[in-house]
Structure 1
Amino acid sequence: MESNESPHNRYEVGDEEATVAVVTAVAQEEGRDPLDLPPLYGTIDPDVLEAVARSEVGDEYWVAFSYCGYRVEVKSTGTVTVTP
Structure 2
Amino acid sequence: MAPLPDYITETDASTKSIESVDSTMHATNPHRESMNRLHGSESISQHVVFEVAEQANVQPNELPPLYDFIDPDALDTVVASNPDLELSFSFAGYRVTIDGEDSIQVREDD
> After TM superposition, which residue ranges in structure 1, 4 or more long, deviate above 3 angstroms?
none
Evaluate the alpha carbon distance shift between residue 34 and residue 7 of structure 1 in structure 2; reply closer, same or farther with a 3 A threshold. Answer: closer
How many residues are paired up? 77
In terms of fraction of residues, the more helix-rich structure is 1
Question: Identity of paired residues, percent?
Answer: 32
For 2:26, the equivalent position in structure 1 comes to: none
Which ranges of structure 1 fall in alignment gaps of 5 or more residues?
A: 1-5
Per-residue CA shift, 1:24-83, capped at 9, x if unaligned? Answer: 0010011100011011011011122112332365xx202211111110011213311101
Residue 56 (structure 2) pairs with residue 38 (structure 1): no
- Work out the CA distance in 2 between the residues paired with 1:47 and 1:66: 16
- Is the CA contact 1:11–1:80 (under 8 Å) kept in the aligned structure 2? yes
TM-score by length of 1: 0.77
Residue 63 (structure 2) pairs with residue 12 (structure 1): no
For 2:49, the equivalent position in structure 1 comes to: 23
Matches within 5 A, 1:42-57: 42-55=68-81
Per-residue CA shift, 1:7-40, capped at 9, x if unaligned? Answer: 5211233221111100100100111000110110
TM-score by length of 2: 0.61
Which ranges of structure 2 fall in alignment gaps of 5 or more residues?
A: 1-30
